[in-house]
Chains A and B, each alone.
Chain A
Amino acid sequence: GENVEQHPSTLSVQEGDSAVIKCTYSDSASNYFPWYKQELGKGPQLIIDIRSNVGEKKDQRIAVTLNKTAKHFSLHITETQPEDSAVYFCAATANYGQNFVFGPGTRLSVLP
């Protein structure tokens, strides 16, 4: 089955700097890759996603890149703000509509 790894597990950046979180997956058939942000005590929120027919997708300060050959995808946050501090989860699935396999999460801290 699919296995998703995520690095780093924790990340601290200064406000205004960029943050990059990388995930690798094992199933070459995976074709959908969402990213979720989870604030303390709340459920995860979808922030951006990418499908396998696209190499990059951007939404304001957030972007995701996908390298299908290398089987990795990354979340990029530019001009970080303190409110970006949260746990970020990546996920992958080859069977759209079924459960996603989640990475272990990255705790991002944006220092003012």
Chain B
Amino acid sequence: GAVVSQHPSRVICKSGTSVKIECRSLDFQATTMFWYRQFPKQSLMLMATSNEGSKATYEQGVEKDKFLINHASLTLSTLTVTSAHPEDSSFYICSAFGAGQGANTIYFGEGSWLTVV
């Protein structure tokens, strides 16, 4: 199946700083990528939909100025958590959907654990 790579897998940052998480589709072009947040023992919460070359669409309640999403190419989307606070600590997961060989559904990245201290 298609491969989606997410980096870093774990990151610790100080409160008030910004951290960037990358999501790459390794063997297909991803016209659409999704960013989720997952709290322990809970389901996936969609934060935003990222379309290549256009602004991301954020879900209700998600601060677009805090969670900056950039989808500059067909294989890369980034999520930047700005001015991070301890309550932003969570498991962030990206997924990708794209046209091309092996990519006819949504595939997830490995997830990124963010700890804000």
In contact, A103 and B108 (Cβ under 8 angstroms): no
Known: A103-B43, A105-B43. 15 other contacts (CB 8 A): A34-B106, A36-B108, A43-B6, A43-B93, A43-B95, A43-B108, A43-B109, A44-B93, A45-B108, A89-B43, A89-B44, A100-B106, A102-B43, A102-B44, A104-B43
B61 interface residue, CB < 8 Å from A? no
- Report the minimal beta-carbon distance from B98 to chain A, rounded to whole angstroms: 9
Please state if B49 and A99 are interface contacts (CB–CB under 8 Å): yes
Cα separation A89 to B44 with both chains bound (whole Å) = 9
B-facing mask of A4-34, CB < 8 A → 1, else 0?
0000000000000000000000000000101
A23 to chain B, nearest CB (A): 12
Smallest distance from the beta carbon of A81 to chain B beta carbons, Å? 21
Query: Which among A34, A45, A97 has the highest number of chain B CB atoms within 10 Å?
Result: A97
Binary CB contact string for chain B from 3 to 40 against chain A (1 if under 8 A, 0 otherwise): 01010000000000000000000000000101000000
Alpha-carbon gap, A100 to B43, bound state (A):
13
With A43-B6, A102-B43 in contact, is A97–B108 under 8 Å at CB?
Answer: no
Q: Known contacts A34-B106, A45-B108, A46-B107: does B113 contact A97 (CB below 8 Å)?
A: no
**B contact residues, range:** 20 to 34
Q: How many whole Å from B89's CB to the nearest CB in chain A? A: 14
Interface set of B (CB-CB < 8 Å, partner A): 1, 4, 6, 32, 34, 41-44, 46, 49, 91, 93, 95, 97, 105-111, 113
- Report the Cα distance A100→B97, complex, angstroms: 11
Task: Report the minimal beta-carbon distance from B48 to chain A, rounded to whole angstroms.
Answer: 10
Which residues of chain A are near B43, meaning CB under 8 Å? 89, 102-105
Interchain CB contact under 8 A, A97 and B97 = yes
Q: Which residues of B contact A45 (CB under 8 A)?
A: 108
- The interface residues of chain B lying within 8 Å CB-to-CB of A98 are 32, 49, 97
A112 at interface, CB cutoff 8 A: no
- Answer whether residue A42 sits at the interface, using C-beta atoms and an 8 A cutoff: yes
